[in-house]
Amino acid sequence: DVEVVFRRLSPGKLASLLSPGVDRIAEDIVADIAPAGAAQGAVGAGKAVLRGLDPAQQAELLALRHRFVAGLTRDMQANVRQLVDFDEIVVGGMVREKQLLIDLFQRCGKAELAFLVNSGFSFGCALGVVQMLIW
């Protein structure tokens, strides 16, 4: 079950892995919402303010970022079915990537397909001999 697998993710560990990317995402958001031409200045000003913080404040900001990402992960774990339609992802992906579906079917059913081909040939020959004898 997807929910069980998603719940096995450690929010703390995931937050440690994803937290460094939060700064880049924040910069992208500022660049998107800032007036044209002011994005570079806004991002630069934000970075300057962050560099101007004393070490205790910077540590508190890093801890806050970690808690935010961990909390977001917990919320996503609790509501994974509302956030992601896994059926649409899988079925939609297979419909769009027909060759992938064919390759998957051939790889997974290789032994079964070989049996069907071989047994079809054998049964076809046997039935052909019986039909030949009847005529």
Per-residue model confidence as pLDDT tens digits over 114-134: 888 888 888 888 989 999 999
Number of Cβ atoms within 10 Å of the Cβ of 73 = 19
pLDDT in tens, 18-58: 888 888 888 788 777 777 777 778 777 877 787 788 889 88
Largest CA distance in the chain: 99
On whether the pTM is more than 0.85, the answer is no
What does the block give as tokens for 26?
Answer: 């924040």
81-86 contacts: CB < 8 A, separation 24 or more? Answer: 81/2, 81/3, 84/2, 86/2
Number of Cβ atoms within 10 Å of the Cβ of 15 = 20
Q: Within 13 Å and on the Cβ side, how many CA atoms surround 104?
A: 9
Query: How far does CA 100 lie from the centroid of its chain?
Result: 17
* pLDDT surpasses 90 at 70: yes
pLDDT at position 71, please?
93
Contact criterion met (CB below 8 Å) for 9 and 75: no
What does the block give as tokens for 66?
Answer: 């970690």
